[in-house]
Amino acid sequence: MDFLTFVWLVVGLVCLVIGAEWLVRGASSLAARLGIAPIIIGLTVVAFGTSAPEMAVSVNGALTGSADVALGNVVGSNTFNILFILGLSAAVSGLTINQRLLRFDIPILIVVSVISYGLAWNGLVGRLEGVLLFVGIIAYTAWLIWQSRKDAPTESAEVKEEYEQAARKAEGSALTKSAPFQIGLVIAGLALLVLGSRLLVDSAIEIASALGVSELVIGLTIVAAGTSLP
């Protein structure tokens, strides 16, 4: 392992950050042009787009036979988000917890974690389990969209406003650009995600080999932290 390995690791992370940003901005602007409500854009395009780095790295790891990097990234990213990002945010200014989060979203997170643990108990998460998990996120997103369309109480309205602000921010000045420009932004974003994930996975594997640690450890730490920070 040499210094160039770390350079490629950083380049991969930068590509992931920029790629996710371009993908979200382009897709959000295209959705807004089609007349899709900001809350729907926030719940779908923005929500999935912000997880694009983790998704790109894990899919790349799975396709290239680096399952430990893929799984380590998934588990490590969630752990990093809860312990570091949530902890740091609370330590800096304190956080007001929305009651809906306590009543529904956190229980869903716990249930999903337990289900995932059960699926992985035999040491293999197969295609069928993957399809079931994918159907689960589609159902959850559909429920959120349906819920957002209802006449909600004030606390839900606050959540709605949060998603709408995220969508408007993602659209940004790109709405003043042409549709071909926005399509190009989406394509460029996807290309950077693919490139960045490849560079990050390859660099992580080389670092793991040089340090004499498993790919799982690198996935749980360096890769997970890198894909979560954006």
How high is the pLDDT of residue 76? 92
3-state per-residue secondary structure call for 9-76: HHHHHHHHHHHHHHHHHHHHHHHHHCCCCHHHHHHHHHHHHCCHHHHHHHHHHHHCCCHHHHHHHHHH
pLDDT digits (tens, 9 = 90+) for 166-176: 555 555 555 55
Place of tokens 């959705």: 31
Average pLDDT on 51-77 reads: 88
When pLDDT is cut at 50, 70 and 90, the band that residue 155 belongs to is very low
CA distance 151 to 109: 25
Residue 129 vs residue 178, higher pLDDT:
129
Q: Is the Cβ–Cβ distance between 167 and 25 less than 8 Å?
A: no
How high is the pLDDT of residue 95? 83
Three-state secondary structure call for residue 151: coil
How high is the pLDDT of residue 168? 59
Range 3-228: architecture per CATH: Up-down Bundle (1.20)
pLDDT digits (tens, 9 = 90+) for 187-209: 999 999 989 888 988 898 888 88
- pTM summary value: 0.73
Instruction: Give the contacts of 224 (CB within 8 A, at least 6 positions apart).
Output: 72, 73, 75, 76, 77, 79, 80
Residue count (the chain)? 230
When pLDDT is cut at 50, 70 and 90, the band that residue 104 belongs to is confident
Q: Is the Cβ–Cβ distance between 79 and 225 less than 8 Å?
A: no
Three-state secondary structure call for residue 214: coil
CA distance 125 to 188: 32
Does the structure show a pLDDT above 60 at 51? yes
Percent of the chain at pLDDT exceeding 90: 17
3-state per-residue secondary structure call for 61-114: HHHCCCHHHHHHHHHHHHHHHHHHHHHHHHHHHCCCCCHHHHHHHHHHHHHHHH
Average pLDDT on 153-162 reads: 53
Domain residue extents for the chain: 3-228
